[in-house]
Amino acid sequence: AESKQRQKQQETRRARSCEGYSMSSKQPAQQKKKQQAPAPAPAPAAQKQKQKQPTPTAAKQKQPAPTAAKQKQPAAKPAAEQAPAPGTPATELEQQQQQQQQQQQQQQQQQQQKPPRQPRVNVYGRVKSVQSGDSFDLIADQARGVEPQMRTIAITGISAPRLGRFPSANAPQTADEPFAWDSREYLRRKIIGQRVACVIEHTSAQGRDYATVFVNDTENVGLSIVQEGWAHVRQAATAAAQPRPEIVELTKAEETAKAANKGIHNAAAAQGAVRPIYTGVFDAYAFYSANSAAPVKAIVEQARTGSVLKVSLLPSLRIVNVSLAGIVSPRLWWNAETKRLEAEPFGIASRNFAEYYTLHRDIDIKLTGVEKNEELIGTVTCCGRDVGQELLRAGFAVYQQWSAPKTNPEYCNALRAIEADAKAKKLHIWSLAAPLAAINTPQPSTDAISCPEVISGKVIDIPNLGALTVLDTVTNETHKIIFSSLLFPMAARQQTFTAAESKRTTPEEQQRTKAENAIAFEAREYLRKHIFGAEITCKLDYERVPTAPAAAPQQQKPKKKNTQKQQTKQSGEMVAVFGDEDDEIAQPHEEEQEQEEQHKAQSMRGYYSIFLNKENVALTLVSLGLVKVAQHGARDPRSSAYDQLCLAERRATAEKKGWWDPAHVKPLDINDVSLNQTQARSKQFLPFLQSTPGSPKKFEHCVVEYVFSATRVKLYVPEQHVMLSFSLAAVRAPARDDVARKPIAERGLLFVKGLCHFREVAIDVETVDRTGNFLGQLMVNGKNIALELLEQGLVSCIPGVTQRHPLGERLEAAQLKAKKQHLCLWANWKEEEDKEAEATNGGKLEQFQVAISEIVSCTQFFVQIVSSESAKLDVLREKLPSLPSGPIATKPGTYVAAKYSADGCWYRGQISAVQPGGVCIVFFIDYGTVELVRPEDMRPLPDSLVQYLAPQARHASLAFIKPPTEGSDYHLAAISAFKELVGSMQSVSATVEYQEKNVLYLTLSCPEGSVNAELVREGLATVERAGRRYEARVAPLLAAQAEAKLAHANMWQYGDCYDSDEEHKQK
């Protein structure tokens, strides 16, 4: 009530003061009438007529006719009196009368052409902004409940210098007129935010009001501007015959200012009185570094949004954008299609609120950071009030954690408290169903699971750059943690460029790619050395909704098999691989990626700030130049330390660290042998990695990059700059497709990951298997991984291979220890089950008669064990031709009855592969033969005939010998000799030396002794290394080999036929 009463009193006082004041002077009109000079002499008749004429039409009607005017004129004078003689001047009175008559006629014409003057209107309001030295924007007073009216006011009778324009799409940039900025500043300081009284004299067609303006109830603003020399008096106002009194007063004030060389009248200072134009890029980081200690003075030129101000820095007058620290307001944007300004709810209201309190006001900026887009961040104080807090208090903004000043926790707590109060009152933004806080954070679906706010645990994996796998110490759950607001370099697996790629890319792009690979490797190494295995604390910054998978039919991804394995299966050759029993080549992170895709539909994706001993890991990575800071959208959520990350990035850029100086980054020279892995390619690197008796090579600083299974890993050898696939020798892990043993395989995988994943290990390379894997021993902290796995019962020894290995006895002892404790693989082990194996591999060897059905090479062939079951083959041959024809599922693994082209008979077979056109590669399971069979030569095979008799073809190889390599000079000769030795016999006596992966390693008897020894004696095979257990069995073969050497038979024709590595093996 008191405020309303005071407001009424003020309005009454202003109304009385404006009514009693002349518009050209500070003195009241009544007093001024008394001080005026006596009235001048009466005007001529024509002037009197003009004063009496109310309108142009009435003036025309009252004007006397020409004839009447002539009648009233005096009588004509004599000729001598009418025209004076030439050279005689007219009297002074006649000249004055003629001039007055001419002026009166001109004024009558102008009055007839001009429209009638509009009545003066008094307008009151508050000055919102000052556009120039003679114009401003006014928020006019309105009745309660009526929307405030914005009016543009130009001060009558004066003209100030014009400010220049900023460049736009339609017009170029223009410079200021001299003293334009100083003129505007004088008017801005005098009236900005003040209540003024405006007497509107007339309004232009563009809607601009021309008025005489009073401030503080008495001061004429236009007169003050002219007195200080910041504006000219308009010439049109002074051109009248009798200028108005206020114009006369302005003219006198201008003459006084000119005499004193004030303002724009100081010609000597005009050249330096132009505002500078900045065209270069503003270095926000340098400005922040130089001015972060003390507040910066500035003038607000525009409120882009409620929380982003466009300011002129003082004293440089550089125009920049400043974001208010700790808050964000609704967005505004220009729609190019509709050509309209669009905004979020309360977007325009929040901007108007900021303009009302800050536009064209002097402010103090306390800088707190720099945005990625070179915008300054800081707290803004205007007229003793914090603008950010006022916006929060009015409900026009929400709290934003990442931009809040971290060094001032009291200020951050105050912002939170103010926001909570506005939220409780449901002011403006908080009255919406979906407030601005919900817009900042994407809303999850109803099925999505929110991420934990804080996670404390141990880093157990680094699946890729930018993410960590953390085991929560409280819940014992694993979480995928993603670094917030960071961009990690993309490490390409390809380190070299082909000729075609070199043509498509420039040398600079190649250099940049190589540098990025090197930085990615360095960033990964930093995480491995400092973060992996450490206890960290993760604080959630923001969440993102996972992308929904496309609605498409799910197709099973084909598994990538070993190429050589496929080829050998097609040809009927079964290759024994020393190492992992699983023949799939697992790709890095394949399993993790599949699990992640399935998990995306169930949980939100969390982005965290990661702390190690209270140190922000992201800040360290950015400071070292190993990563970049992501550039977010204006409203995108980001890291809580985003401003600090931007500052750290600018320091790294200035110091040219890491990523910011790619020209000086040393390219990463790594030969990744695991890519396109083949035996031939791996053997090229074997001499540099293999230990020999004379040159032991034990690499102790290798890094395990990935763990495929319990016995196979991917290693990086820094001493040789080689990335390779490494398998444990002489042991195997359960296959992944074995449902019964899959839990044991998973347990073994986790056991090896826990021991050596992303840790430095020592390796001892022994050889290379036929798929290109390097075989050997792997040690972690002095512990042999193979022995540890065997003692846990997670892997098993490979029969035959273990006995020949130098560590065979220790490996078998470790396996026996697990068997006796019935661990994992040996949970149902019985000691009686090993007796047969001991008989096979021990002193009493198993012997039987075999029929050789298919010969692939000297050491790869198929045999049929001659027994009572052999008679069932004849029964099958009789039943197969009568099978009905029908549709066949032509896919690998399908059993069929197929016609053999050599004799036209039907035999049991199994499809190995399908070629275009429906032709299948069929493996005849009773003979070991492989052949291409057309669809019309195949029939469905009932399950009863499949189970009637087990497949009779057994894959076999000659024990303890090695034939010539394929393609060598003696390869075909060795095959011919082998066929001659066994081809004439219907059955052969065979002794099983050992068995490995369903392959029987045999010693075949012949009239000359043994087929094995005869091939060695003829120089068509060499003796392989064997363990101590087989010394007695290998002795005859070594004797035969000595005879071949003395005779220089075949392979020994030119002396020693061993390669250097083979020679070391023999020694």
Render 977-1035 in DSSP notation, one character per residue: HHHHHHHT-SSEEEEEEEEETTEEEEEEEETTEEHHHHHHHTTS-EEPP--GGGHHHHH
- Is residue 435 within 8 A of residue 346, CB to CB? The reply is no
pLDDT, position 75: 43
CA distance 65 to 866: 153
Q: Tell me the range of 347-351, 498-502, 829-833, 924-928 where mean pLDDT is highest.
A: 347-351
Question: 557-583: buried (b, 16+ CB within 10 Å) or exposed (e) per residue?
Answer: eeeeebebbeebbeebbbbbbbbbbbb
Q: Give residues with Cβ within 8 angstroms of 856, minimum separation 6.
A: 571, 572, 573, 862
Q: Give residues with Cβ within 8 angstroms of 77, minimum separation 6.
A: none
Residue-averaged pLDDT of the chain: 78
Counting Cβ atoms within 10 Å, is residue 752 exposed (0-12), middle (13-18) or buried (19+)? Answer: buried
pLDDT, position 979: 85
CA distance 246 to 914: 106
Percent of the chain with pLDDT strictly greater than 90? 24
Question: Which element (helix H / strand E) includes 32?
Answer: helix 29-35
pLDDT, position 386: 94
Q: Is the pLDDT of residue 96 over 80?
A: no
Which carries the bigger pLDDT value, residue 790 or residue 13? 790
DSSP label at 392? H
- Residue 815 structure tokens: 């396996």
Cis peptide leading into 115, omega within 30 of 0?
A: no
HSE at residue 410, side-chain half, CA atoms within 13 A, is 0
CA distance 569 to 408: 71
The CA-atom distances, in angstroms, between 780 and each of 690, 699, 700, 727 are: 19, 12, 9, 15
DSSP label at 221? H
- Mean per-residue pLDDT, 815-837: 79
Global pTM reads 0.58
Span 566-593, pLDDT tens digits: 333 333 332 222 233 333 333 334 444 4
SS3 of 33, please?
A: helix
CA distance 714 to 672: 10
Span 726-784, pLDDT tens digits: 999 989 998 777 777 888 999 999 899 888 888 899 999 988 887 889 999 999 988 99
- Mean per-residue pLDDT, 469-497: 78
Q: Is the pLDDT of residue 790 over 50?
A: yes
CA distance 921 to 912: 5
- Is residue 726 within 8 A of residue 713, CB to CB? The reply is yes
E strands, 89-163, are 121-132, 135-140, 149-155, 158-159
For the CA atoms of 801, 805, 809, 814, the dihedral, rounded to the nearest 10 degrees, stands at: -70
CA distance 1040 to 1013: 6
Other beta carbons within 10 Å of 997: 16
